[in-house]
Copies of this chain bind each other. A is one copy, B any other.
């Protein structure tokens, strides 16, 4: 295990995504300076250098960072230098939209199974993916080696569903349910809460 990330700001990880995205627009051309990468992403050049320095010394003084190499390094750090098999849980409005959302697949996040509790949906398939009863979760996760779950169920079902997901051995959860769910420390959880973001917007717009 080469990786040991002690004091890396959470905000750094978040910015890495933007660096990576910006680098995709730089072709494979030779080098890019922290200043240029800063301009492309809207952060400061010092911050770019600091962020990258947490993971090694990728730059060459007087030149900058080698574009392709840096992109690969960041991809590796972000864990997107490979495919992730993902279970989508909840096939309501949002779940259906996420299933059809092509950007996930393009980034290497493949939805390989959908789970729902509606008997009218179970057994069918959508966008080429089979829909399973949530009771089959553990079995399918094992069989298909699913490593990540996207939760798109109503708030009142979220905690129970997440309990099952954790029980199935999945260690990475993206939760869209507007609800503070609890998971063990060994499980990574990222929340996307539309309502909270809307309220944040409404708050800053109200000042």
Which residues of A does B touch, CB under 8 Å? 3, 5, 13-14, 16-18, 20-21, 41-42, 77-80, 84, 93-94, 96-98, 100-101, 103-104, 107, 109, 147-148, 171-174, 178, 180, 182, 188-190, 192-207
Contact = CB atoms under 8 A, between A and B. Distances in A.
B201 A188 contact: yes
A148 B80 CA distance: 34
A190 B189 CA distance: 21
Number of copies: 2
Most buried by B among A96, A201, A206: A201
A14 B200 contact: yes
A interface majority secondary structure:
helix
Contact of A195 (B17, B100, B171, B195): B17
B171 A203 contact: no
A21 B188 CA distance: 23
B109 A198 contact: yes
A25 to B, nearest CB: 11
Contacts of A192: 192, 194, 197
A202 B13 CA distance: 10
A189 to B, nearest CB: 8
B207 A5 contact: yes
A93 B100 contact: yes
